[in-house]
């Protein structure tokens, strides 16, 4: 998919979303509830993704950006 096609697809999705938001005040309660559930799901996934990425980056690199020496893999050799 070319970048122009991708941008067009994103623009179409945005226009559909705005149209849905404009129709929402006149919608039935069931439709409002379904839209809210879908929106809550999307927000939850985004927040959990951000939390997972920040925790992974923090445990791997620490706050200063350097690797944590405690998390280095060490080779275990059998006792002679």
Environment class of 62 (CB within 10 Å of its CB; exposed 0-12, middle 13-18, buried 19+): middle
What confidence category does residue 67 fall into, taking pLDDT thresholds of 50, 70 and 90?
Answer: low
- Residue 44: per-residue pLDDT: 96
Task: Give the confidence band of 55 by pLDDT, cuts at 50, 70, 90.
Answer: confident
Q: Rounded mean pLDDT of 33-46? A: 92
- DSSP-assigned letter for residue 23: H
Paired tokens of 1: 């998919």
Separation between Cα atoms, residue 44 and residue 6, nearest integer Å: 25
Mean pLDDT over residues 15-28, rounded?
88
- Is the full-model pTM beyond 0.85? no
């Amino acid at each position: 998919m070319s970048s122009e096609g991708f941008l067009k697809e994103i623009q179409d999705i945005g226009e559909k979303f705005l149209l849905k938001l404009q129709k929402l005040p006149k919608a039935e309660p069931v439709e409002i509830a379904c839209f809210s559930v879908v929106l809550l799901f999307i927000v939850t996934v985004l927040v959990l993704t951000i939390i997972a990425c920040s925790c992974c980056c923090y445990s791997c690199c620490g706050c200063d950006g350097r690797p944590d020496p405690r998390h280095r893999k060490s080779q275990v050799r059998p006792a002679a």
